[in-house]
A = this chain, B = another copy of it.
Amino acid sequence: MSRIFVASLSAMLFLPAAAMAGDLRADANALFEPITPAAAAKVVKSNDLTPAKIELGKELFFDPRMSASQIISCNSCHNLSLGGVDAGSTSVGHGWQKGPRRAPTVLNAVFNVAQFWDGRAPDLKTQAKGPVQAGVEMNNTPANVEATLNSIPGYVAEFKKAFPNDAKPANFDNFALAIEAFEATLITPGSRFDKFLAGDEAALDATEKQGLRLFMDKGCVSCHGGVNVGGAGYFPFGVAQKPAAEVLPAADKGRAAVTKSAADDYVFRAAPLRNVALRAPYFHTGSVWTLEEAVSIMAADQLGVTLSGDETKAIVAFLGALTGEQPHVSYPVLPARTNGTPRPAQGLTSTTAAH
């Protein structure tokens, strides 16, 4: 069992009582933190967030030519117009293969303790290398990414600008660093909840305040606290009772595959809940399509609590107040391919008859 989990479990034992006693805003400020750009920049390690690197990272994030098929980009599954996720349940990748887990949001991901549902990547630059190579996602290789980048003079020049001290800057490591730099800018400050935390009592209505109180008192906050309202630790799914098989399939044991420890069977990183109202369907399986149902499942299976209809409604209303200002991104114009650029490998060689 991870240290963070143990720490959070002990927090779970005394926090609800403490929270019940005090002032709502003071209690909330003790358990959550507002989102600020400065906070995002502070958590990125060993990566200078220069404007040149951020701009390059944006281009790479949106460039479908980073996949073997050349039609799937980071943004295909972490869509910035849709809260940083895709619209399906689990993601569809190369060859229309359906992946085993839902794409986690890229928004505010910089604040998570680690990346992926099982935390197998310690940071965004490590994460960025995963989907590019996964056969079920972008199905590419580092060598082919580098060949593509180096075949495009526009990219070669931008890598040189972003990594001025490197002899051969258009490489896979720098690809990942640039994407991390861009992703560290994808934060959503200014939610009504942040305004409330900062002192604007009117930023939440009565139902939302009731929901916030319930969220703290019922124990949700034990896993879903801090700056990202989650994302900070690992917890077993099914503490009070085992979720339905479609929500928690037996085959996916979560973090146990990373730690190789049976104690981590069905342990996942707690979902960060900022902008959660934009991100149906829910859970790592993307099997639950409404926040109402997701909240009920969490209450029953994690806390052993049956919420009334009004309580569920209030918590859902509070979660809606976690929607922040979405990043405003200018859509990049990508540097053009050349005759030397590797061609797409889509696993399809002949055209079909259909028009």
Contact = CB atoms under 8 A, between A and B. Distances in A.
Contacts of A336: 83, 277-278
Interface residues of A, number: 63
Contacts of A328: 330-331, 333
B134 A346 contact: no
A14 interface: no
A99 B71 CA distance: 14
Contact of A89 (B97, B257, B344): B344
A334 interface: yes
Contacts of A71: 76, 86-88, 92
B88 A63 contact: no
B352 A100 contact: yes
Contacts of A80: 331, 333
B81 A354 contact: no
B70 A100 contact: no
> Which 4 A/B pairs are nearest by Cβ-Cβ distance?
A96-B96, A70-B87, A326-B333, A98-B348
29 contacts: A62-B81, A65-B87, A69-B92, A70-B87, A81-B331, A81-B332, A81-B333, A81-B334, A92-B348, A96-B96, A97-B352, A98-B348, A98-B352, A99-B351, A99-B354, A99-B355, A100-B351, A134-B354, A134-B355, A136-B352, A249-B351, A277-B336, A280-B339, A289-B339, A289-B343, A326-B333, A328-B330, A328-B333, A330-B330
